[in-house]
Chain A
Amino acid sequence: MPDTAVPPAGASILAIEARGLAKHFGDVRAVDGIDLDVPRGMIFGILGPNGAGKTTLLRMLATLLPPDAGSAKVLGFDLKESPHEVRGSIAMTGQFASLDEDLTGRENLILLARLWGFRGQNAKKRADDLLTAFDLADAASKQVKDYSGGMRRRLDIAASLVVTPGVLFLDEPTTGLDPMARKSVWRMIRSLSEAGVTILLTTQYLEEADQLAARIAVIDHGRKIAEGTSRELKAATGSGFLHLTLVDAARVEDAELMLEEITGNKPQRSSEGAALSLMVDTPQNANRALAALIAANIELADFSMGAPSLDEVFFALTGQITEPKNAEGDV
């Protein structure tokens, strides 16, 4: 990519290289020693529940927050030694829209284009090209405060592309969007990636990480608890999950106790109450679990064996049930 800031000679093929990054707020270890290697050109996903430290991690990488410990290079530039060069090669779309509500969409983009060094008509042209590409030409002269959530998000991402960044940080790009708007942001992210932009995105949605990211780092309580492709993460959590539905919901607790005793793993109860998912290390364990339930007269309405979903991966890794998929944060 000749049109982005030139990395120092001998820079590695990694877009981001972080070692032991940490940030504490008082007693809260928001980020507690994270290593990260993000190859150039990849969409890399950071997956974690609310409060895991995703935003703090991104803000450090974007030079907005000085790390308490550790170091990182972005496109070969060290965060501490060359923050100005890092800023020249990145763009960040924060979790909360970073736009001027009083100005129009077009004025917001012209403002940024001028700050990047576009002059006069060039700044206007750049703004108009971005508005067209992000399907906002019709709303160009409206004040941003009159934009919908999806429009704001698109403008916010467009604002990160005024100059093509070497690395684009997207902090929860679809949180709070309706499914249509979410799909459209996904398409946008994919086409940016196809055009060669390295993207580091955070998400609370397992489906989103699965859909977009070539590699995923799962973080929780400021630590990286797993990393790999979506497939590797699934494989890392044992041979699979046994899904059971009981005829009699009243016996769910009996079944839970029994299953935990046999397999050593705690079953995950679904919200309806009568369905259980159990991580099983070997098929023999699944057999023994089923046999024990039948012996105890706990009748099954249904059962199946499946490869773990990312939800289950997350459960297996953290021992926590993730938030419901449609739980939406603030816009």
Chain B
Amino acid sequence: MDDTNSTISLIHAARPPQPSALSNALVFGWRAVLKFKHIPEQLFDLVMTPIMFTLLFTFVFGGALSGSTGAYLQYFLPGILVQTVVFNSMYSGMGLSTDLGKGLFDRFRSLPIWSLSPFAGLMVGDILRHLIASLLILIIGIILGYRPEAGLIGILEALLLLIVIGFGFGWIFLVLGLVMSTPSTVMTMAFTGIMPLVFASNIMVDPATMPSLLRAFVEVNPVSLMTTAMRGVMAGNITAVQLGAALIAPILLTLILAPLTLWLYRRRK
């Protein structure tokens, strides 16, 4: 930059025409893909815990809980997929909090772009994360002997349902990401909130064996409702009521928290 002539040619380069909102959103999606390329170890974080859970529960407790490890895996796997997606939905909130802390979003916000396009990037990242983690766990499950009765169609429907669930829960962490000062606070809050939902659910244990008070909670716990729907989808016998019940939480979360997220984002600082 010491050479004024080269500076002048740099400065007087033509300005391109303004891109569309869709084009802006796609660029942020590309950024999400680049993140996977540069931080492949992220994938490890995504699937490590659920894989450990799968192995542990299937082989250590499976026999005691369901009579055989095979029968237990058949019961457990759809639930662990729900658990994985619910936990992993915190990543975009953490990412948002990191970006905000670095001032990166100041740069984005001072550009003449569609103001919500950065969120499109977060969503692309979310969808990729949920797809990758779910597929890895499914593959391991199938290697261990899990068989989805509804076959490939069941799996595709399950992936779709998982993305919807992750999308709904993602808003919780986007809101946290906007109000918490550090990504690690977001993570701590996430664990504190999600743990009880996941453990007091029908993911691991049939609620029929639980004390009545706990059972009352487990049966209305959204994580249970979603797990029941996942089992139904993969087995090919889901009812409309089950599907509707599973979608209540994601739809409510989106309806309430999406506007809140945008409002918080727009009025930030």
* Contacts A100-B31, A119-B16 given; does A161 touch B110 at CB 8 Å: no
Which one of A189-197, A208-216, A266-274, A288-296 is at the interface?
A: A189-197
Bound Cα distance A101, B99 (Å): 9
Interface size bucket, B side? 35 or more
Q: Which of B2, B16, B24, B99 has the most CB of A within 10 A?
A: B16
Q: Return A161 CB to nearest CB of chain B, in Å.
A: 7
A residues 150-167 near B (Cβ < 8 Å) are 154, 159, 161, 163-164
Cα–Cα distance between A188 and B1 once the two chains are bound (Å) = 6
Does A103 sit at the interface, judged by CB under 8 A? Answer: yes
Residues of B within 8 A of A147 (CB): none
A3 and B18 in contact, given A187-B1, A195-B7 (Cβ under 8 angstroms): no
> Which of A63, A95, A116, A195 is the one whose CB lies under 8 Å from B11?
A195
B27 at interface, CB cutoff 8 A: yes
Of B32-40, B49-57, B66-74, which stretch is located at the interface? B32-40
A299, CB-defined interface residue at 8 Å: no
Which chain B residues numbered 92 to 151 have a C-beta less than 8 Å away from chain A?
99, 102-113
| Chain B residue contacts of A62, Cβ below 8 A | 106, 110
Min C-beta distance of B110 to chain A, whole Å:
5
B14 within 8 A of A: yes
C-beta contact mask, B8-22 vs A, less than 8 Å → 1, else 0?
101111111111000
With A3-B12, A164-B11 known as contacts, the answer to whether A103 contacts B18 (CB < 8 A) is no
**Contact A130–B106 (Cβ < 8 Å):** no
In the complex, which residues of chain A have a beta carbon less than 8 angstroms from the beta carbon of B6? 133
Is B217 an interface position by the 8 A CB rule?
Answer: no
A323 at interface by CB-CB < 8 Å: no
- Residues of chain B with a CB closer than 8 A to A107's CB: 34
Using A3-B15, A65-B269, A164-B15 as known contacts, say yes or no to A191 and B104 having CB atoms under 8 A apart: no
CB distance from B248 to the nearest CB of A (A): 36
Query: Chain B contact residues: over half helix, strand or loop, or mixed?
Result: helix
A25 to chain B, nearest CB (A): 9
- Interface residue? B263 (CB, 8 A): no
The answer to whether A100 touches B104, judged by C-beta atoms less than 8 angstroms apart, is yes
B4 cross-chain contacts in A, Cβ below 8 A = 191, 194-195
Q: Is the CB of A88 within 8 A of B112?
A: yes
Which residues of chain A have C-beta atoms less than 8 A from B106's C-beta?
A: 59, 62, 64, 92, 94, 98
Q: With contacts A62-B110, A87-B112, A197-B11 known, is A98 near B38, CB below 8 A?
A: no
Residue in contact with B110 in the complex, picked from A5, A92, A103, CB distance below 8 Å? A92
Using Cβ atoms and an 8 Å threshold, which residues of chain A touch B110?
62-64, 87, 90-92
A42 to B66: give the CA distance in the assembly, Å: 78
Q: Is the CB of A114 within 8 A of B15?
A: no
Within 8 Å by CB of B104, from A64, A99, A164, A188, lies A99
Contact call A135/B1, Cβ cutoff below 8 A: yes
Q: For the side of the interface on A, what is the size category?
A: 35 or more
| Complex-state Cα separation, A197 to B4, whole angstroms | 13
How would residues 183 to 223 of chain A score, 1 for a CB under 8 Å from any chain B CB and 0 otherwise? 01001100110111100000000000000000000000000
> How would residues 250 to 269 of chain B score, 1 for a CB under 8 Å from any chain A CB and 0 otherwise?
00000000000000000001
B14→A133 contact, CB < 8 A: no
- Whether A122 pairs with B16 at a CB distance below 8 angstroms is yes
**Residue from the set B1, B103, B106, B111 with the largest chain A CB neighbour count within 10 Å:** B1
B199 within 8 A of A: no
Once bound together, how far apart are the Cα atoms of A119 and B30, in whole Å?
Answer: 13
Residues of B within 8 A of A184 (CB): 1
Asked whether A315 is an interface residue with its Cβ less than 8 Å from the other chain, the reply is no
Chain B nearest CB, measured from A235 CB (Å): 32
B151 nearest CB across to chain A (Å): 38
Is the Cβ of B1 less than 8 Å from the Cβ of A115? no
24 residue pairs from A and B, CB less than 8 Å apart: A3-B14, A5-B15, A64-B109, A88-B112, A91-B110, A92-B106, A94-B103, A98-B105, A99-B104, A100-B31, A102-B39, A111-B31, A114-B23, A116-B16, A119-B16, A129-B13, A133-B7, A143-B38, A161-B11, A164-B12, A184-B1, A188-B1, A191-B1, A191-B7
Known: A59-B106, A117-B19. 20 other contacts (CB 8 A): A64-B110, A87-B112, A92-B107, A94-B107, A97-B102, A97-B103, A102-B38, A114-B27, A115-B24, A115-B27, A116-B16, A116-B19, A117-B17, A117-B18, A161-B10, A164-B11, A164-B12, A184-B1, A192-B11, A195-B12
